[in-house]
Chain A
C-alpha cells in the first residue's frame, strides 16, 4: 500500500466534504477479510480515514455515478475506469460539473479471491497502455511509470482461427453455464437502460427460462449493445459467478470496431460513437 498516495486521497476527500464541494465521495475501503477491498461511500469527513487504495481495488466505481445523478459526488477513478466517465459524458448520462474526479495511477490490479490476493495481474491490466486517467480533476500520487505489453488481441485471433462449428460448440458450452443472474449487466457502466430488453414482456425478446438458447440470446445482445461502447474495465467477467470468458466477446467487438470504424470508446467525450455516425463513402465487406 502506497501510504502517501492514500493520504492524498483522504486529504482531498476530507477537503471536498468539509468545503461542501461534494455531497459524498465514492472510494475504496478494506473489505472485512482484511485482504481485498470493497466500495465505500463517504458522507462524513471523519470517515475519510477509511479510504484506501491498492492493487486489489478492481471495482469500477463509475457505475455508482448513475445512481447519484443530480448530486455532486467525488469518485476515485483508475485509468481504465476514467474511460467510463467519458462514455457517460458522451451519452449525456452524467454532468461534468456534478462529478469531481480523484484520479489515481494504476500499476495494474491483481486477481483476488475472498481472503486471498495473488501476484498475478488481471489480464486486462497486462496490455493497458494508460499511465493516468484520461480525465480527472485531481491526480493523487502523480503519474506513474508502467511497463505494458503491446495489445495484439492474441486471444481473439486465436479464437478467430478456429472453425465456425468449433466456436459454436465452445460458446454453447460457455452459455450453458450462464445462470442469468445479470451480474454482468448490473456492474457494467454502459448498461443503464431503465428497462433492459431482457425484461421487456411485449415483445418478449428473451424467455425467462434458463436455457442455452435463451442465454445465448442474452449474451449476444448484451455484448452487441456494448459494441463501440465497452471501455474494457472487464468488470462483467470479474463478477461472473460461473466464469464465462466475457472479455472474449467484448474484446472481439472492440477489435472489430477499431478495425472497421477506427474508434475506441471513452477516450474522447466529444467524438461521436461509431453507431451514431457514418461515412457516406465507406465500403463494408458485404458490399464488395
Chain B
C-alpha cells in the first residue's frame, strides 16, 4: 500500500445549513475527499477560537468553519459574529506561524451539496500542497 500524505481536516459545520449541505452532498452521492472529520455545532457562532487553536495543537492540518450565508443564520446574527472573530483569528494564527490557508471559513447552505464537495476537494488539495504541518514539538 502506498503511504501518501493525507491531511487531517477538522470541520465545524452548523446544524442548519452547512451540516445539511454536507448531508446533501452525501445523499446526492457526490465524491469528495475523506480527510474531513465533521463536528456538528448548533451555529457557526458556537465555534470558539479555542476549538480551532486546540485542533491545531492536537495536530490538525486544516480547520474548516462553515455556516449559513450572512443573512440566513437560523439565530439571525450568529454568523456575523463568526465572520468577525475568524477574520481576526486567521490573521493572528498566520502571524504565529500557522499559515492562514490552513484555516477556512465558508458559507455553505443546505442546498449547496456541490459547493461543499468542491470546497473540500479544493481545501484538501491545497493542504496536501502545503505538506504536513511542522509539529509543535520536534519529531
- A residues near B, CB below 8 A? 159-160, 164-172, 197, 205, 211-213, 216-217, 220-221, 223-224, 227-228, 249, 252-253, 256-257, 260-261, 274-275, 278, 280, 282, 284-287
Q: Which residue of B lies closest to A276 (CB)?
A: B81
State the CA gap A216–B134 with chains docked (Å). 14
Tell which of B9-17, B27-35, B97-105 binds the partner. Answer: B97-105
State the CA gap A216–B88 with chains docked (Å). 18
Partner of B83, one of A167, A172, A228, A278: A278
Contacts A168-B96, A220-B53, A257-B88 given; indicate if A286 touches B137 (C-beta within 8 A).
no
What secondary structure prevails in chain A residues at the interface with B? helix
Judge if B36 is at the interface, Cβ distance under 8 Å. no
State the CA gap A159–B94 with chains docked (Å). 11
Partner of B85, one of A172, A275, A282, A285: A275
- Point out the residues of chain B lying under 8 angstroms from A221, CB to CB: 49-50, 53
Contact A165 B88, beta carbon cutoff 8 Å: no
- Point out the residues of chain A lying under 8 angstroms from B98, CB to CB: 164, 168
State the CA gap A274–B81 with chains docked (Å). 9
Interface residues of B in 67-93 (CB under 8 A from A): 70-71, 77, 80-81, 83-93
State the CA gap A220–B107 with chains docked (Å). 26
Partner of A284, one of B81, B87, B92, B136: B87
State the CA gap A257–B80 with chains docked (Å). 16
- B residues near A, CB below 8 A? 49-50, 53-54, 57, 70-71, 77, 80-81, 83-99, 104-107, 134, 136-137
- Chain B nearest CB, measured from A46 CB (Å): 50
Sorted from nearest, which 10 A-B pairs have the closest CB atoms? Answer: A168-B97, A278-B80, A284-B87, A213-B136, A167-B97, A164-B99, A286-B105, A217-B57, A256-B91, A220-B53
Contacts A220-B53, A286-B104 given; indicate if A212 touches B137 (C-beta within 8 A).
yes
Contacts A257-B88, A280-B80, A284-B87 given; indicate if A213 touches B137 (C-beta within 8 A).
yes
Contact B54 A205, beta carbon cutoff 8 Å: yes
- Point out the residues of chain A lying under 8 angstroms from B93, CB to CB: 220
State the CA gap A125–B32 with chains docked (Å). 54
How many A-B pairs fall under 8 Å by CB? 97
- Point out the residues of chain B lying under 8 angstroms from A260, CB to CB: 84, 87-88
Contacts A197-B50, A260-B87 given; indicate if A278 touches B77 (C-beta within 8 A).
yes
Contact A253 B88, beta carbon cutoff 8 Å: yes
- Chain A nearest CB, measured from B100 CB (Å): 8
- Point out the residues of chain B lying under 8 angstroms from A169, CB to CB: 97
State the CA gap A205–B89 with chains docked (Å). 17
Q: Which residue of B lies closest to A214 (CB)?
A: B57
Partner of A285, one of B49, B71, B87: B87
Contact A205 B84, beta carbon cutoff 8 Å: no
Partner of A227, one of B71, B81, B92: B92
- Point out the residues of chain B lying under 8 angstroms from A274, CB to CB: 84
List 26 contacting pairs A-B, 8 Å CB cutoff, sorted by A: A168-B96, A168-B98, A170-B97, A171-B96, A172-B97, A172-B136, A205-B50, A213-B136, A216-B136, A217-B57, A224-B53, A224-B88, A224-B89, A249-B96, A275-B85, A278-B80, A278-B81, A280-B71, A280-B80, A282-B84, A284-B83, A284-B87, A286-B87, A286-B104, A287-B83, A287-B107
Contact A275 B81, beta carbon cutoff 8 Å: yes
Q: Which of B88, B93, B94 has the most chain A CB atoms inside 10 A of its CB? A: B88
- Point out the residues of chain A lying under 8 angstroms from B77, CB to CB: 278
State the CA gap A212–B98 with chains docked (Å). 15
- Chain B nearest CB, measured from A169 CB (Å): 7
Partner of B88, one of A164, A170, A256: A256
- Chain A nearest CB, measured from B123 CB (Å): 12
State the CA gap A217–B70 with chains docked (Å). 30
Partner of A211, one of B99, B106, B137: B137
- Chain B nearest CB, measured from A262 CB (Å): 12
